[in-house]
């Protein structure tokens, strides 16, 4: 129990409960069975047990308030503040114990919010005991005096973390002790005293009778009141001890009492009489310090007097007016429970004794269901160990009240895995265990196992009991066993009475016969599935699924199953279905889990999905969709969340020219001799040697992976971390280059207007032919660092600065830089002179400065800044690999285009050029030839039509701001004419494709960036793409060609369409939200009505309705004609190019992202032209897509969005792409040694020799040699396979496949 951190453990009491306990608690009997009724929680109760809560003789307190010492709120609406401290000082008018209740808000911290009835979350304080002092045990902790005998002190705090309230209750004894009062309270004693005194001095007492206690008490009260009211010592009257009334009332018997009250004996010699010295009681001095005590004494005396019997009052002729004020209201107001909604106000709180269930929940019987439910939750939270018992309490009350709300609450708790205490006890009994056993978990698990072995039919019941026990012991080990619904293979064999050696068809036969025998079909199917999984037998797996789908036990139809898993789109991928299932399961209680399992099973059966059915049994199972065979592609293991990496790698593997060049890399490897390096230009810039080395390392890694994809007999292989990093990260120099180059727009004409964000510029892959503003030489120790912290923007200034900062100016770089500048200048001269007919390569840098593109009418959302601030990653050869997290974080921040650009760039760097483009010096190679296209951009300046040529590696399109659009509409945005602002005048500009690459990449840019809110968002609107597209309409052609004329026609139509649509919108929707025609008709109706009514004074033009009719007709005709025109225009637009089908492209790959921007899951669908199969490449699983709507119909599946498409040229697609490329060695198990099968070995015989030369391995020229020996394929060779060297010797010059060297 600590205060500052507020970790109080244990049950609490709501304030009404606490108050009731306070009233029932008799401090004269502080303990009963070791518990304190007020301070301690109510003891647990079981059916039939009688726990006497209090004695009948206990005082049910009548608390009265001490007005002077009470400060309580006036009403429940009074709002406390951090200085608030309510004090209610009370005493019981029966037993006269004192109870001071302090409600303290002074620990209020910022942001706290005390409980109050108006707050639905915490309507009442729920008080937990944090300290308790019993004077008998710890007298030293209590400050006690003659005047105040504190016997108990209890300190509570509210269990709500947001509530500062603490409550202290101080209990003290009556000020006047009974033994002191006895001489005046006992009537016989008082009477005897009187008689004795009268008899001793009859003359003196003549006419007087003995007194009664009431009179004595009355005298004492007068003495005290006089004492209290005396202003100073002189005003206090001494009491002569010989005073007759005093003698009769008190005499010598009460000396102890008077002394306790502070009276002092004074003796005065009296010269006048002979009776000796006179004795007086000198009253005490009443000060501020002790006045409370005398107040209390007076009230006690009043109370005693009030309680004297009637006979005494008659004798004394005293009718005591004594009406102390009840304190309960003040206590309730201070505790904040004066008013709260109750079950029924009719119940008399004071008389009703609450059922122990209410007591245990810290509640009272008049709580309504909501409050009980709340109190149950509080109690469970504060005292989790006893949750089962509290559930029993709630359940008992629910039954007792017949409350359906509470019953529901109980059911919900049960289905969330809560067990009642009774159920837990029964569960222990089921296994014959003592509920309080100290046996370890293993013992109980053992009992469970032996039980289900001996009585398999009880398995389900036993499992439920075990779950209850797991809960009560909070044992995860037991829970795991109880939740394990899998069937072991042994169990499966036993269940089907077959053995591990039984052939698959026999197993099937047994299963079918069992089904006919009316066995539990689910179980038969499950047993089959378990065996199928264990054997990796997919035929058996499917049979199991079929059996299961015929299971009559499930009445769930397939539609309901999808509904139950909340899946709206039935053709979602298995992956998606499973994701929905898992997220539901994560939050479901045990009760609902079964229903989700059933739904997944029904879907799994319906689809005959091995994946779903296996995951059903074991969500963690690694599902291998299809066995690895020569005609199936294999998967890529996810190496941490490296987003689209696997999709990209799988895709590149299907691009034949790229795959071939990677697999035969040694034939294409760029030489590192300085002469060649110097000449190399990739993406319009010089490439440093270190960059080439890095790039070759990348291709070497890619080579190993491709080899694995080709030859592994496993279902999947794993990309290396090195490969992941080299794929996702570009080099610092390259990043800087990009920033430098993109600071001036040079894409297709309107892209820069689309991407009008000041902080982000798109990258369209390495661009041709932009020459660097400044070449970017690379420091030799190639730092793979992508960004500087804080370098958020891609603005040109900062990137320039960064670029400069990066350079430790080595002389080599300077030389290169000068070369570059010179090169650029020469290039520019050429451009200037060639500004005529030929399309020219324009350095984007030069034209951009005087060209400002006017934003398109369709304004595209800005893109997110690639904010890599704080992510500084350095890797070099020696450095440890970066963490998964960082890789993932970085990967998600990278644009997929950027990564593809990086891959292309690295490939080009690593490869020997096939030729060099004359004008730019740009290297031509297989990557460029396959993936790069170019546009000609025409700008109509005042005098001339200016042309420039721009290369691209992909086309970036956008979804419509609202609703779906098709791919042509999206592409039109790139190629339609638009107006740009050049040199303060406008000019028409359009782009045409001057060169189509064999493979076209289209990026669907879905991420937009809200620069005000600084958040990225995803536009999920569909961009519909067909399997075949024709690009003729965008091709470059002569000014007066048919194509160009048609294009211009469409541009005109589109502007007409825009006007018509605007007019249509205006007519169809007036300000009043009705169409113009409707408005006119309504007006006419109104006018007609005016005419009929012939309202006096309203003159209606008789022609008005007629003219309204005319107008209505006109408008209707206009609306109809506009609709017709629009339809016609749209049809024209649709049909304008349908006859142009020369440039046909087929969809080959669709990259999918699911989730929000900056996260989620990625996969790719790739089409296999040979077999007419679409496959889903989902990390380690590659599966056939049966339902193609999954790929093409995204209307409903809003969370899954295609973001990147690859189209391949129809005419020679066989040479361009190939989905399946496998060459699996015949003998499984020895694939680890088929290291020599690739041609690269032959190509590098000589270098192979140097491999053994240790000295050489350190230098750069030999660095790539190690790759002549690709890393062993996964899985690693088994130990009994001899090492490669040994093998090659032993086999006498043959490789592992037996082929001669």
Q: Least separation, in Å, of the C-beta of 213 and Zn ion?
A: 21
For residue 371, the minimal CB distance to Zn ion (Å) is 14
Our CB check for Zn ion shows the closer of 158 and 547 to be 158
- Least spacing, CB of residue 456 vs Zn ion, in Å: 53
Residue whose CB is less far from Zn ion, 6 or 615: 6
Which tokens is 1142 given? 């020369």
Choose between 112 and 243: whose C-beta lies nearer to Zn ion.
Answer: 112
Q: Mention every residue, 6+ apart, whose C-beta is less than 8 A from residue 358.
A: 17, 364, 365, 367, 393, 397
CA proximity to 633, closest of 1149, 1227, 1201 = 1149
- Rounded to an integer, what distance in angstroms lies between the CA atom of residue 164 and that of residue 116? 12
Alpha carbons 836 and 1139: distance in angstroms, whole number: 33
Q: Report angle CA 95, 101, 107 to the nearest 5 degrees.
A: 165
- Is 406 within 8 Å of 372 (Cβ atoms)? yes
Do the Cβ atoms of 286 and 227 come closer than 8 Å?
A: yes
SS3 call for 536: coil
Comparing CB distances to Zn ion, the nearer of 92 and 397 is: 92
Nearer to Zn ion, 126 or 906 (CB): 126
Q: Pick the closest to residue 159 from 18, 306, 268 (CA basis).
A: 18
Comparing CB distances to Zn ion, the nearer of 167 and 1182 is: 167
Of residues 61 and 689, the one with the C-beta less far from Zn ion: 61
Give me the long-range contacts of 542-547 (CB less than 8 A, separation at least 24). 542/608, 542/610, 543/508, 543/511, 544/511, 544/613, 545/604, 545/605, 545/608, 545/609, 545/610, 545/613, 546/605, 546/608, 547/511, 547/512, 547/515, 547/521
Identify the CA nearest to 807 among candidates 841, 760, 772. Answer: 772
Closest CA to 1153 of 1144, 1164, 1140: 1164
Q: Least separation, in Å, of the C-beta of 67 and Zn ion?
A: 19
Our CB check for Zn ion shows the closer of 161 and 559 to be 161
Nearest alpha carbon to residue 141 among 128, 155, 153, 130: 153
Residue 92 CB, shortest distance to Zn ion, in Å, is 3
Q: Which is nearer to Zn ion, 63 or 540 (CB)?
A: 63
CA distances from 858 to 148, 389, 863, 959, 1013 (A): 85, 65, 15, 11, 22
Residue whose CB is less far from Zn ion, 125 or 1001? 125
* Residue number, 158 or 1191, with CB nearest to Zn ion: 158
Residue nearer to Zn ion on the CB measure, 61 or 421: 61
Least CB distance from residue 375 to Zn ion, whole Å?
A: 13
Least separation in angstroms between CB 409 and Zn ion: 22
Q: Residues 1123-1141, buried b or exposed e (16+ Cβ, 10 A)?
A: eebbeebeeebeeebeeee
Q: Is the peptide bond before 1158 cis (omega within 30 degrees of 0)?
A: no
626's enclosing H/E stretch is: none
Q: In this structure, what token pair is assigned to residue 43?
A: 């003891």
For the bound state, the minimum distance from the C-beta of residue 126 to Zn ion, rounded and expressed in Å, comes to: 7
**Least distance to Zn ion, CB of residue 125, Å:** 3
Task: Return the number of the residue (59 or 973) whose C-beta is nearest Zn ion.
Answer: 59
Q: How far is the CB of 412 from Zn ion (least distance, A)?
A: 25
Closer CB to Zn ion, residue 154 or residue 738? 154
Distance CA 732, CA 688 (A): 12
Q: What is the DSSP letter of 67?
A: G
Q: Which is nearer to Zn ion, 163 or 907 (CB)?
A: 163
Nearest to 749 by CA among 894, 895, 934, 931: 934
* Cβ pair 889, 1033 in contact under 8 A: no
Smallest gap from Cβ 114 to Zn ion, in A, equals: 6
Q: Give Dmax (Cα) for the chain.
A: 154
Q: Strands 635-636 and 716-717: what pairing?
A: parallel
| Nearest distance, CB of residue 97 and Zn ion, angstroms | 6
Residue 564 phi/psi, 5-degree rounding, is -65, -35
Using CB under 5 A, list all residues that contact Zn ion: 59, 61, 92, 94-95, 115, 125, 158, 160, 163, 165
CB atoms within 10 A of CB 209: 12
| Matching residue, tokens 């199928």 | 532
How long, in residues, is the chain? 1301
Minimum Å gap between C-beta 159 and Zn ion is 7
Closest CB to Zn ion among residues 158, 1152? 158
To the nearest whole angstrom, how small is the minimum distance from the Cβ of residue 34 to Zn ion?
23
If you write DSSP's letter for every residue of 958-1015 in order, what string do you get?
---SSS-EEHHHHHHHHHS-EEEEETTEEEEEEEEEEE--SEEEEEE--EEEETTTTE
| Least distance to Zn ion, CB of residue 133, Å | 21
Q: How many H helices and E strands in the chain?
A: 49, 33
- In the complex, the smallest distance separating the C-beta of residue 300 from Zn ion, rounded to whole angstroms, is 12
Shortest Cβ 155–Zn ion spacing (Å): 15
| C-alpha distance from residue 1269 to each of 720, 1240, 1273 (Å) | 16, 9, 11
Instruction: Please tell me the distance from the alpha carbon of residue 211 to that of residue 195, in angstroms, as a whole number.
Output: 9
Report the residue number, 4 or 1300, with the smaller CB distance to Zn ion: 4
Which residue has 């505790």 as its token pair?
335
DSSP conformation letters of 811-863: HHHHHHHHHHHHHHHHHHHHHHHT-SSS--B--HHHHHTTEEPPPPSSPPPPP
Nearer to Zn ion (CB atom), residue 92 or residue 993: 92
Question: In angstroms, what is the minimal distance from the CB of 29 to Zn ion?
Answer: 12
């Amino acid at each position: 129990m600590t205060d500052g951190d507020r970790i109080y453990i244990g049950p609490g009491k709501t304030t009404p409960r606490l108050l009731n306990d306070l009233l029932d608690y008799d401090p004269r009997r502080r303990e009963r069975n070791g518990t304190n009724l007020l301070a301690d929680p109510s003891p647990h109760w079981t059916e039939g047990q009688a726990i006497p809560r209090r004695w009948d003789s206990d005082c049910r307190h009548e608390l009265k308030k001490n007005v002077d010492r009470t400060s309580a709120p006036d009403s429940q609406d009074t709002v406390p503040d951090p200085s608030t401290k309510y004090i209610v000082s009370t005493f019981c008018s029966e037993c006269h114990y004192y109870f001071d209740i302090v409600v303290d808000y002074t620990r209020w911290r910022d942001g706290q919010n005390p409980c109050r009835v108006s707050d639905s979350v915490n309507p009442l304080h729920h008080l937990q005991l944090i300290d308790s002092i019993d004077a008998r045990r710890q007298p030293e902790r209590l400050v006690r005096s003659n005047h105040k005998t504190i016997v108990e002190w209890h300190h509570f705090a509210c269990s709500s973390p947001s509530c500062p309230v603490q409550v202290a209750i101080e209990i003290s004894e009556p000020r006047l002790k009974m033994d002191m009062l006895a001489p005046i309270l006992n009537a016989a004693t008082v009477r005897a005293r009187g008689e004795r005194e009268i008899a001793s001095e009859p003359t003196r007492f003549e006419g007087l009778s003995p007194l009664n206690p009431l009179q004595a008490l009355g005298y004492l009260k007068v003495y005290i009141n006089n004492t209290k009211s005396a202003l100073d010592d002189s005003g206090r009257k001494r009491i002569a001890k010989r005073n007759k009334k005093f003698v009769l009332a008190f005499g010598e018997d009460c000396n102890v009492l008077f002394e306790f009250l502070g009276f002092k004996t004074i003796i005065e010699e009296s010269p006048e009489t002979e009776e000796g010295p006179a004795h007086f009681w000198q009253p005490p001095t009443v000060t501020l310090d002790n006045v409370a005590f005398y107040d209390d004494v007076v009230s006690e005396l009043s109370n005693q007097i009030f309680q004297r019997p009637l006979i005494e009052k008659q004798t004394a002729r005293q009718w005591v007016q004594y009406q102390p004020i009840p304190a309960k209201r003040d206590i309730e107001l201070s505790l904040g429970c004066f008013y709260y909604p109750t079950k029924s106000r009719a119940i008399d709180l004071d008389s009703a004794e609450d059922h122990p269930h209410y007591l245990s929940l810290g509640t009272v019987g008049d709580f309504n269901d909501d409050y009980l439910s709340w109190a149950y939750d509080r109690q469970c939270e504060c005292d989790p160990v006893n949750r089962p018992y509290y559930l029993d309490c709630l359940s008992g009350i629910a039954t007792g009240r017949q409350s359906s709300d509470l019953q529901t609450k109980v059911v919900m708790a049960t289905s969330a895995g809560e067990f009642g205490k009774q159920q837990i006890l029964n569960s222990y009994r089921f296994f014959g265990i003592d509920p309080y056993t100290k046996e370890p978990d293993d013992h109980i698990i053992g009992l469970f196992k032996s039980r289900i072995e001996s009585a398999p039919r009880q398995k389900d019941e036993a499992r439920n009991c075990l779950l209850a026990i797991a809960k009560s012991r909070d044992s995860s080990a037991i829970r795991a066993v109880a939740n394990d619904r899998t069937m072991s293979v042994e169990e499966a064999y036993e269940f089907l009475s077959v053995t591990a050696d039984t052939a698959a068809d026999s197993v099937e036969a047994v299963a079918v016969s069992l089904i006919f025998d009316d066995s539990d079909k689910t179980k038969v199917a499950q047993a089959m599935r378990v065996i199928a999984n264990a054997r990796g037998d997919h035929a058996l797996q499917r049979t199991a699924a079929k059996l299961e789908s015929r299971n009559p036990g499930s009445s769930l139809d397939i539609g309901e199953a999808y509904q139950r898993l909340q899946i709206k789109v039935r053709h979602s991928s298995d992956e998606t279905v499973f994701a929905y299932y898992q997220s539901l399961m994560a939050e479901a209680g045990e009760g609902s889990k079964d229903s989700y399992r059933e739904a997944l099973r029904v879907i799994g059966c319906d689809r005959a999905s091995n994946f779903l059915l296996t995951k059903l049994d074991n969500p963690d199972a690694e599902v291998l969709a299809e066995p690895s065979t020569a005609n199936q592609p294999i998967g890529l293991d996810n190496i941490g969340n490296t987003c689209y990496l696997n999709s990209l790698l799988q895709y590149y593997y299907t691009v034949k020219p790229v795959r071939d060049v990677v697999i035969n890399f040694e034939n294409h490897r760029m030489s590192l001799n300085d002469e060649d390096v110097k000449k190399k230009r990739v993406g319009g810039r010089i490439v440093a040697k270190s960059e080439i080395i890095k790039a070759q390392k990348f291709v070497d890694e890619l080579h190993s992976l491709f080899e694995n994809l080709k030859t592994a007999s496993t279902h999947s292989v794993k990309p290396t971390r090195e490969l992941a990093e080299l794929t996702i990260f570009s080099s610092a120099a390259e990043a800087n280059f990009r920033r430098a180059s993109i600071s001036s727009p040079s894409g297709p004409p309107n892209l820069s207007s689309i991407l009008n964000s000041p902080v982000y510029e798109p990258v369209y892959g390495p661009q041709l032919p932009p020459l660097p503003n400044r070449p970017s030489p690379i420091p030799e120790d190639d730092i793979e660092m992508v960004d500087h912290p804080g370098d958020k923007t891609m603005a040109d200034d900062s990137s320039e600065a960064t670029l400069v900062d990066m350079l430790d100016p080595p002389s080599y770089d300077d030389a290169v830089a000068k070369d570059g500048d010179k090169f650029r200048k020469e290039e520019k001269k050429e451009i200037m002179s060639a500004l005529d007919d030929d399309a020219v390569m324009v350095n984007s840098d030069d034209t951009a400065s005087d060209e400002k593109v006017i934003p398109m009418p369709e304004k595209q959302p800005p893109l997110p800044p690639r904010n890599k601030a704080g992510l500084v990653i350095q890797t070099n050869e020696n450095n440890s690999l970066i963490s998964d997290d960082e890789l993932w974080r970085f990967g998600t921040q990278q644009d997929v285009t950027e990564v593809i650009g990086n891959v292309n760039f690295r490939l080009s760097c690593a490869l020997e050029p096939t030729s060099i483009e004359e004008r730019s010096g740009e290297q031509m190679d297989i990557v460029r030839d396959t993936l790069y296209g170019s546009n000609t951009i025409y700008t109509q300046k005042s005098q001339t039509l200016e042309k420039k040529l721009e290369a691209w590696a992909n086309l970036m399109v956008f979804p419509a701001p609202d609703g779906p659009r098709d791919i042509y509409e999206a592409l039109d945005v790139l190629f339609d004419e638009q107006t740009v602002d050049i040199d303060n005048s406008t000019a028409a500009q359009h782009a045409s494709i001057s060169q189509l690459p064999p493979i076209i990449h289209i990026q669907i840019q879905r991420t937009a960036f809200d620069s005000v809110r600084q958040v990225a968002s995803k536009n999920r609107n569909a961009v519909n793409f067909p399997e075949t597209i024709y690009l003729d309409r965008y091709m470059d052609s002569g000014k007066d060609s048919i194509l160009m004329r048609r294009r211009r026609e469409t541009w005109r139509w589109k502007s007409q369409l825009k006007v018509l649509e605007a007019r249509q919108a205006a007519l169809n929707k007036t300000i009043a939200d009705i169409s113009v025609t409707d408005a006119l008709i309504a007006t006419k109706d109104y006018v007609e009505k005016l005419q009929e009514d012939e309202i006096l004074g309203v003159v209606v033009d008789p022609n008005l309705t007629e003219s309204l009719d005319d107008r209505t007709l006109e408008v209707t005709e206009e609306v109809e004609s506009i609709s017709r025109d629009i339809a016609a225009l749209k049809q024209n637009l649709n049909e304008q190019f349908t006859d142009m089908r020369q440039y046909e492209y087929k969809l080959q790959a669709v990259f999918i992202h699911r989730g929000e921007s900056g996260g989620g899951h990625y996969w790719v669908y790739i089409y296999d032209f040979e077999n007419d199969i679409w496959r889903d490449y989902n990390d380690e699983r590659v599966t056939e897509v049966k339902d193609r709507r999954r790929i093409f119909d995204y209307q409903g599946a809003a969370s899954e969005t295609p973001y990147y498409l690859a189209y391949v040229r129809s005419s020679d697609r066989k040479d361009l792409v190939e989905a399946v490329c496998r060459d699996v060695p015949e003998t499984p198990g020895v694939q680890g040694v088929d290291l020599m099968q690739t041609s690269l070995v032959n190509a590098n015989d000589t270098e192979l020799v140097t491999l053994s030369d240790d000295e050489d391995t350190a230098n750069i020229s030999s660095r790539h040699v190690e790759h002549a020996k690709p890393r062993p394929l996964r899985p690693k060779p088994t130990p009994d396979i001899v090492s490669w060297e040994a093998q090659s010797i032993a086999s006498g010059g043959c490789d592992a496949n037996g082929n001669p060297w």
